[in-house]
Amino acid sequence: MVSADPTKAPPVLLQMRGIVKQFPGARALDGVDLEIRAGEVHCLLGQNGAGKSTLIKVLAGAHQPDEGEILVDGTAVTIPHPVAGLKLGIATMYQELDVVDGLSVAENIYLGHELAVGGFSQRRAATAHTRAILKRLGHGDISPHREVGQLSAAGKQIVSMARALSHDARVIVMDEPSAVLDSEEVANLFRVVHELTSSGVAIVYISHRLDEIRQIGDRITVLKDGRTVATNLAVAQTPTADLIRLMTGRDVEYAIPPRPPVPDDAPTLLHVDGLGLAGSFSDVSFDVRAGEVVGLAGLVGSGRTEILETIFGARKRTAGTVSVGGETLRPGSVSGAVKAGIGLSPEERKSQGLILDEPVYRNITLSTFTRTANASFLDEAAERRVAKEQIDALDVRPSDPARAARTLSGGNQQKVLLARWLVHGCRVLLLDEPTRGVDVGARSEIYALIANLAKGGAAVVVVSSEIAEVIGLSDRILVVSEGRVVHDGPATSIDEHRVLDLVMEGSAA
Amino acid sequence: MSEQTTPGAAVPGRSVTELAGDVPVHADRPAQAPRRGLLHGPAGRNLGLVIALLAICIFGVATAGERFASPENALTILRLASVTGVVSIGMTFVIIGAGIDLSVGSVIGLASVWASTLATQTMAQDLNWGVMVVTALAVGLCAGLVNGVLIAYGKVVAFIATLAMMVAARGLAEIIAQRKTQVVSVQGFLDFFRGDLIGIPTLVWIFVLVSVAGWILLNRTTFGRRTIAVGGNPEAARLAGIKVKRHTMYLYALSGLGAGIGGVMMLGRTTAGSSTNGLFLELDVIAAVVVGGTLLVGGRGTIVGTVLGVLIFTTLSNVFTQNNLSSSAQAVAKGVIIVVAVMLQQRIAGRTPAKT
């Protein structure tokens, strides 16, 4: 496929250079480079939040980059809207397949560029073309007249791909195409991908499944925190461990403050026994003592987030028990968990944590405003006071408690969430990706904060995609893979490589 | 648990108390992030509504003169506004909570019919006219609770659940009334609701009281804060420990109660219970709430805005009537106002809801 000799390499179809995309409060892309050659399967790797989705939206014309340039066939282009992207031969298959269930296969494929003469649709021509394209994809068995809603996820994907081809796409971006498919369907997908690439179409392939990338990828670009950390790696010559390290690891360029060991007589605050959630994870048992930080390490989709949410009652457990300070929690009751003194800082700050249009102080007191209230009457002065205390203690910037939460940066939004549980006086804190989308400076502050929480006697459970971070923060590490805890031991006796090995062993099983 | 035990106080090097005095003076300043001038933020939006109301009044004085500007006419406007107004207060809560209640008009009809059946009126004669009031409020509350349970626990979309209630309550009212008009003959009831206090009709007093109570409930109580949280981000509210489902149910119960009060007022105003009472009133109510600046997506809205929205529509109707313009022309004007008001609000809110 891709030869090492650059003179023999297929021509470069598409190049992105130094792409920057700024969103309010977050820099989604911070200098991304990507180079796509004709006929290759170029894999785009990165953790959740690394910027993959934003990047493909820039490529599709759905977002406009703030900086950087896009070159097609060596000529700089702008892609002001998705139709322009399609005209340039760039088609995108989004993760949530964008097909219309109520329309037929042919109607879906020609949606937005219907074959028509004077407003009258050329149904017969569309049907014929659809047949030809489906045949090319090896799916002559799908009738162009079939209603798309009746097709399986795999069938819908074929329709989505056929639509891309109907635009004469030369670059097809596939966002986690295998996520909804079973193994047989994945094999068929790969066959189609091979056929496409052998006819010169380039595929940008996004997947979390590294074994798939081994099977069909030619070259790899790795994104992390909105930046390209490695590009044009040849799949055949890059060990999987290196890939995971590129995605998750980073040199710890920020200080994780050392903490004294947890005293032996520290009481157990959180007791999780045989916890399970059907279809997600099973048989998770661990204790967290006062002053202890326990880290859950594992890849995206391993079940680590689900474990936290189930402990918290945000998902209703199907097996096992959770108890705080000896008191067993009712399954599926968040308010019960909060009352018992558990706080969760969720993975998706904006959609799960904050009321973005409400002022910062009300976000901080969201769990406690009933407590400061007198007989159901709010005491806003008291709320502002406790919020302001936390804003100053955690150095939330800007420090105006009346500002809308939306206007804060990721790191400061994270501090607001932590402040909420600090005001509440939580004994057990569950932190899901506490440093995602947080810049380096604020990271150190959040690490110090977590250390202080433990010092103050809280039991802390941390989930992070960055293995070095979990190890650095925690006293004990649980390695989670495929919904099972595959390792439980002190953080001092494990390193990043060992965690990666365990993760991969677990995935292989 | 006391606040003193917060582990956050353990952050070293900073004394928490020394900074506690730094509380901003403007306790109720809107939290709109980038403030872009006077008309931005809830207070500014209400100012815009006041200007609109004044413009309508000036137009009224200019075209109808004394007939419009008289105190009697002002009371007429207020009396007409009162039923819609009371129901709109309840609706404001539902919409801030990111819901909708289409059933209020029908529930008014049902409550007014139920409170004026022969049986209820006989009982009211024997005991106290308050029986009729209690009946209407109970009917409204129950209808609202049914809506709330269906939506919060039965996971029926609010639009559908309340649409079903709208149809069913109207039907039930027709069955009870047998499509006849039930004239109210309980004198105490009529005296109270058709009477006035220091020159202001009782109905207007009720509107004022309900508005003030609604304002306090929304801005000064935990119930109001929960409403904004549930409408602003239900998942965040749930993960903060707020019982979102239960609160959602309360919101519809509140709206039902508002419709029940509206039913009593309607009974007082028209002196008759009829299954057609409150027909299409839900449309006026929703229009007033939305024009008043409450976002249909939830999380934001004001009682003052709703009251102004109600007054704008009622005053406009009055001006049109004074000028002998048909109700059809009024309907067209209402439609235009709804669209213009909402478009202006989107401009002012400064954020385009559209996402690619």
**B213 touches A at CB < 8 Å:** no
Cβ-nearest to B31 among A334, A335, A403: A403
Cβ-nearest to B10 among A338, A390, A456: A456
CB contact under 8 A, A353 and B223: no
CB contact under 8 A, B241 and A380: no
Bridge partners of A432?
A463
Bridge partners of A272?
A286, A322
- Is the residue at B121 inside a domain? yes
Q: How many distinct structural domains can be found in chain B?
A: 1
- Is the residue at B36 inside a domain? no
CB contact under 8 A, B299 and A357: yes
CB contact under 8 A, A355 and B20: no
Question: How crowded is residue A332: how many other Cβ atoms within 10 Å of its Cβ?
Answer: 14
Chain B residues with CB under 8 Å of A423 CB are 3, 6, 8
CB contact under 8 A, A334 and B22: no
Question: Of all residues in chain B, what percent carry a pLDDT higher than 70?
Answer: 85
> Looking at chain A from residue 18 to 37, which residues have their Cβ under 8 Å from any Cβ of chain B?
none
Query: CA of B146: how far to CAs of A291, B52, B96, B100, B223, in Å?
Result: 48, 38, 20, 14, 20
> Looking at chain A from residue 125 to 154, which residues have their Cβ under 8 Å from any Cβ of chain B?
none
Question: Of all residues in chain B, what percent carry a pLDDT higher than 90?
Answer: 72
pLDDT surpassing 50 at residue B339: yes
Interface test with B, best of A334, A390, A453 (most B CBs within 10 A): A334
Q: How far apart are CA B298 and CA B232, in angstroms?
A: 6
> Taking the CA of residue B281 as centre, how many other CA atoms within 13 Å lie in the half-sphere pointing to its CB?
30
Interface test with A, best of B2, B3, B16 (most A CBs within 10 A): B3
pLDDT in tens, chain A (509 residues): 444 444 457 889 999 999 999 876 667 888 899 999 999 999 998 876 678 888 989 998 889 999 999 999 989 999 998 888 888 999 988 877 778 888 999 989 888 887 777 777 788 888 999 999 988 888 888 899 999 988 888 888 888 888 888 888 899 999 888 777 777 778 888 888 998 899 889 999 988 777 788 889 999 999 888 888 888 888 888 887 788 778 776 555 556 788 888 888 899 999 999 999 998 899 999 999 999 999 999 877 788 999 999 999 999 999 999 999 999 999 999 999 999 999 999 988 888 999 999 999 999 999 999 999 998 999 999 999 999 999 999 988 888 999 999 888 888 999 999 999 999 999 999 999 998 777 767 788 889 899 999 999 999 999 988 888 899 899 999 999 888 999 999 998 888 888 888 887 766 54
More confident residue, B132 or A259: B132
Cβ-nearest to B6 among A359, A370, A425: A425
Q: How far apart are CA B287 and CA B102, in angstroms?
A: 12
| SS3 assignment, position B187 | helix
Bridge-based pairing state of the strands A319-324 and A268-277? antiparallel
Q: How far apart are CA A415 and CA A443, in angstroms?
A: 10
Q: How far apart are CA B72 and CA B315, in angstroms?
A: 13
> Residues A406, B236, A399, CA angle at the centre, nearest 5°?
35
**A259 touches B at CB < 8 Å:** no
Q: How far apart are CA A487 and CA A289, in angstroms?
A: 18
CA distance A470 to chain B (A): 21
| SS3 assignment, position A288 | strand
pLDDT surpassing 50 at residue B353: no
Q: Where are the alpha helices (DSSP H) in A318-458?
A: 334-340, 360-364, 369-372, 380-393, 410-424, 440-455
**Token pair belonging to B298:** 């939830």
Q: How many helices (H) and strands (E) does chain A have?
A: 17, 22
* Predicted local distance difference test score (pLDDT) of residue B88: 98
Query: CA of A451: how far to CAs of A460, B7, B72, in Å?
Result: 9, 11, 70
> Residues A490, A495, A499, CA angle at the centre, nearest 5°?
90
Strands (E), A78-170: 90-93, 116-117, 120-121
Chain B residues with CB under 8 Å of A62 CB are 356
Chain A residues with CB under 8 Å of B24 CB are 384, 400-402
- Is the residue at B161 inside a domain? yes
Q: Which residues contact A87 (CB under 8 A, 6 or more apart)?
A: none
For residue range A479-503, list pLDDT tens digits in order: 998 889 999 999 988 888 888 888 8
If you measure CA to CA, which chain A residue comes closest to B13?
A393
Give the orientation angle of helix B130-152 with respect to helix B158-177, to 10 degrees.
Answer: 150
Q: Give the DSSP letter string of B50-62.
A: HHHHHHHHHHHHH
- Is the residue at B338 inside a domain? no
Query: CA of A297: how far to CAs of A276, B135, B209, in Å?
Result: 18, 60, 57
**B27 touches A at CB < 8 Å:** yes
Reported residue count of chain A is 509
* Predicted local distance difference test score (pLDDT) of residue A440: 66
Interface test with A, best of B1, B2, B6, B244 (most A CBs within 10 A): B6
If you measure CA to CA, which chain B residue comes closest to A384?
B23
pTM surpassing 0.80?
Answer: no
Bridge-based pairing state of the strands A26-37 and A41-45? unpaired
**Token pair belonging to A144:** 């162009």
pLDDT surpassing 70 at residue B350: no
Chain A residues with CB under 8 Å of B241 CB are 334-335, 337-339, 367
Cβ-nearest to A373 among B27, B222, B240: B222
Q: What is the mean pLDDT of chain B?
A: 86
In chain A the domains, ranked by start, together with CATH numbers, are: 1-89+170-251 (3.40.50.300), 97-167 (no CATH), 268-508 (3.40.50.300)
Q: Which long-range contacts (CB under 8 A, 24 or more apart) does B342-346 make?
A: B342/B290, B342/B291, B344/B48, B345/B45, B345/B293
* Predicted local distance difference test score (pLDDT) of residue B248: 98
Q: How far apart are CA A279 and CA B149, in angstroms?
A: 29
* Predicted local distance difference test score (pLDDT) of residue A367: 94
Q: Tell me which residue range forms the domain holding B261.
A: 73-280+294-300
* Predicted local distance difference test score (pLDDT) of residue B16: 33
CB contact under 8 A, B24 and A400: yes
CA distance A150 to chain B (A): 25
CB contact under 8 A, B232 and A314: no
- Sheet of A67-72: strand order equals A26-37, A12-23, A67-72, A75-77
For residue range B179-216, list pLDDT tens digits in order: 899 999 999 999 999 999 998 999 999 999 999 999 99
Q: Give the DSSP letter string of A118-139.
A: TTEE-HHHHHHHHHHHHHHTT-
**B297 touches A at CB < 8 Å:** no
Phi-psi region of A9 (alpha: psi -120 to 50; beta: other; left: phi over 0): beta
More confident residue, B234 or A501: B234
Q: B236, B295, B242: which is closest to B96 by C-alpha?
A: B295
Please report which helix (H) or strand (E) contains residue A287, including its range: strand A281-289
Bridge partners of A175?
A206
- Is the residue at B104 inside a domain? yes
Question: How crowded is residue B49: how many other Cβ atoms within 10 Å of its Cβ?
Answer: 24
CB contact under 8 A, A376 and B221: yes
**Contact, B313 vs B83, CB < 8 A?**
no
**Token pair belonging to A244:** 């995971």
Rg over alpha carbons for chain B, rounded to the nearest Å, is 22
Please report which helix (H) or strand (E) contains residue A108, including its range: helix A105-109
CB contact under 8 A, B228 and A358: yes
CB contact under 8 A, B3 and A355: no
- Is the residue at B136 inside a domain? yes
CB contact under 8 A, A358 and B229: yes
Chain B residues with CB under 8 Å of A351 CB are 233, 235-236
CA distance B222 to chain A (A): 5
**Contact, B99 vs B248, CB < 8 A?**
yes
If you measure CA to CA, which chain B residue comes closest to A427?
B7
Please report which helix (H) or strand (E) contains residue B67, including its range: helix B66-69
**Contact, A369 vs B241, CB < 8 A?**
no
Chain A residues with CB under 8 Å of B349 CB are none
- The single residue listed with the structure tokens 């939040």 is A49
More confident residue, A78 or B257: B257
Phi-psi region of A447 (alpha: psi -120 to 50; beta: other; left: phi over 0): alpha
Q: What is the DSSP letter of A355?
A: -
For residue range B15-73, list pLDDT tens digits in order: 333 333 333 333 333 333 444 444 455 666 788 889 989 999 999 999 988 889 999 99
**B300 touches A at CB < 8 Å:** yes
**A332 touches B at CB < 8 Å:** no
- Is the residue at B131 inside a domain? yes
Q: Which residues contact B339 (CB under 8 A, 6 or more apart)?
A: none
- Is the residue at B275 inside a domain? yes
| SS3 assignment, position A53 | helix
pLDDT surpassing 80 at residue B7: no
Residue type, A473: L
CA distance A64 to chain B (A): 11
CA distance B305 to chain A (A): 18
Q: How far apart are CA A421 and CA A144, in angstroms?
A: 55
- What would the mean pLDDT of B255-282 be, rounded to a whole number? 95
Chain B residues with CB under 8 Å of A341 CB are 1
CB contact under 8 A, A425 and B235: no
Q: What is the DSSP letter of A271?
A: E
More confident residue, B313 or A500: B313
